[in-house]
Amino acid sequence: MTPRALRMSQPLAREVAEQVAIQHGVCVRPVALKRLDTYTGQTEIIDVPCGATLETACPPCARRNRHLRVAQCREGWHVDAEPITTPNEASEEQRWLIEFRADTQARRDAAARSGQDTTDLDAVIAGLDAEINAAGMRGNVLAGATSKRNRSTRRRQDAPDLPRRKMTNTTLGRTFTSSDGKVYRPSLFVTLTLPSYGKIRDGVPVDPDAYDYRRAARDALHFAKLVDRFVQNLRRVAGYDVQYFATVEPQKRLAPHLHMAIRGTLPRAEIRQIAAATYHQVWWPAADEALFEGEHLPVWANGAGYLDPGTGEVLPTWEQALDQAAEPLHVVRFGDQLNVQGVLSGTPDADQCIRYLSKYLTKSLGDSLDPDQPAQREHAERLAAALRYEPCSPTCANWLRYGIQPKNAKPGMTPGRCRGKAHKPDHLGYAGRRVLVSRKWSNKTLAEHKQDRRTWALEALGQTDEPTDPHRYLWKPVPAGDANVPPLAVRLLRAVAERQRWRAHMAELQARADGQDLSANRQAA
């Protein structure tokens, strides 16, 4: 083959390798890491599965994650003993995640200093933060770097007027014993939905001009906070440390909604009352009137920050603008549509709900869109347009449009060009996590559920899962374009071959075990 022909054939080879990898359940976006074995001094390049967290569309990892989530949901829903939550020592995985995070941050800062685009590295960092949280470490690695503002009492979120039970120190729901002595463990499956923004037919607004896209956009942006408030109120009313496993999914009208498995039970009327009384006030400066747009945009001055392009005056900083805010920018509430279902542990109902909860986990929020329907496409475009200029966070470049310097303002910010997840069409304004699991749902973190599967597989092979010395290996990221990393197609096919070897080995062991059973049976007969 000529070098040119070889080059031409590469994308094809990669596509084929990807398909084969998907068929075999092998990660198609592996992350190459350099692993130094401190015992032998040898360095190896190891492919680590992407885990589907780095904003990569990796179907095998997405599927595997979904299976883990189903296991996690099932194990926690009806536990009958108080889960023990002692922080585990940072595992090897956690350690390398943190090291990798630190290295990536360093690379990102270096790129920013030399004026390069940091979009990709920012996305990786956001993904790593999510992964680090999922691995059982709570909070942000860099937390503490920002100081908390002192808020005036006027800004306090008012507690809604709801009944309160005396708090008991348990996470378990009530049980009921029937006359024949059987113990029942009732629980709830709740679906919470945002309000109406205009009449909908077949998933699209009947009158798009009358549809309240601004409100839809703001509700989606702050949906996660509303869910937090709901849980706080739920716990106050219930009088125990209510645990939940919830997923955020898109409705056909492109608004996020929430399915929540709740351990224990409350009267339905109370759930209704809590949902109706729950709201979240967004204490942000006003962002209703565009002061700067088009070519007329604030200009950056070193040492001063952003200036009004007409008068040369320095624009108020985020903190200054926040102090002036006399009322919340927005208040989010749930809509009237609420579904509350009682579920008994171990019933087909419970299984059905778990399937429902995990149904969309392998898809992004925007995947529910049907691109062949012009009305749906137009609806999605209008929502994306509304989201484009809504501030997504205190650091969002869109604040400049409303005459305010974003928090941590830096040169080069342009309204409408914020890279925040919430503005991306795939996210529909919701940048939070898709799966929300309370701390004491099951005894395990997702990383521990993963470990369960590994232990199971090794036991099936007749090997013990001995803990490796956590200090044995040192992990380092491999710089992009490193000549020691083979082309992706080659790496994928290698991983497939390895998976096949492992499966064959498992099958052989199984066959041997079956044979032993058979001969044992024969002897017994």
Is 27 a binding residue for Zn ion by CB under 5 A? The answer is yes
User: What order do you get walking across the sheet with 435-437 strand by strand?
Assistant: 338-344, 186-192, 256-262, 244-250, 435-437
User: Please, what is the minimum distance in Å from the beta carbon of residue 418 to Zn ion?
Assistant: 3
Question: Count of CB atoms within 10 A of residue 285's CB?
Answer: 19
Rounded Cα gap, residues 149 and 310, in angstroms: 32
Q: Which of residues 53-82 bind Zn ion (CB under 5 A)?
A: 58, 61
- Among 205, 250, 415, 420, which residue interacts with Zn ion (rule: CB under 5 A)? 420
The alpha helices in 195-324, defined as continuous H runs, are 213-221, 223-238, 268-277, 318-324
Contact, 247 vs 358, CB < 8 A? yes
Which residue stretch of 12-20, 147-155, 207-215, 389-397 sits at the interface with Zn ion (rule: CB under 5 A)?
389-397
- Packing angle of the helix pair 223-238, 268-277 (nearest 10 deg): 140
CA atoms of 454 and 168, how far apart (whole Å): 37
Rounded CA separation 435/514 (Å): 40
Provide the residue type at 410 as one letter.
K
> Cβ closer to Zn ion: 231 or 495?
495
Q: How far is the CB of 32 from Zn ion (least distance, A)?
A: 13
Residue 59 CB, shortest distance to Zn ion, in Å, is: 8
Tell me the C-alpha distance between 51 and 285, whole Å.
38
Helix, coil or strand: residue 247: strand
Smallest gap from Cβ 228 to Zn ion, in A, equals: 20
CB of 189 or CB of 213, closer to Zn ion: 213
Least CB distance to Zn ion at residue 140 (A): 18
Between residues 29 and 440, which has the closer beta carbon with respect to Zn ion?
29
Share in percent of the chain as helix, strand, coil (round to 5): 40, 15, 45
Name which of 27 and 488 has its Cβ closer to Zn ion. 27
DSSP-assigned letter for residue 50: -
220 binds Zn ion (CB under 5 A): no
Pick 61 or 234: Cβ nearer Zn ion: 61
350 near 310, Cβ under 8 Å?
Answer: no
Closer residue to Zn ion in complex, CB, 300/356 = 300
Size of the site for Zn ion (CB under 5 A): 10
Q: Which is nearer to Zn ion, 64 or 379 (CB)?
A: 64
Nearest CB to Zn ion, comparing residues 50 and 231: 50
Q: How far is the CB of 398 from Zn ion (least distance, A)?
A: 6
Distance CA 222, CA 203 (A): 22
Minimum CB separation from Zn ion for residue 99, in Å? 20
Q: C-beta of 330: minimal distance to Zn ion in Å?
A: 15
How far is Cα 285 from Cα 404, in angstroms, rounded to an integer?
8
Work out which of 392, 435, 446, 489 binds Zn ion, going by CB under 5 A.
392
Is residue 396 a contact point for Zn ion (CB under 5 A)? yes
Residues at the site binding Zn ion, with contacts judged by CB under 5 A = 27, 29, 49-50, 58, 61, 392, 396, 418, 420
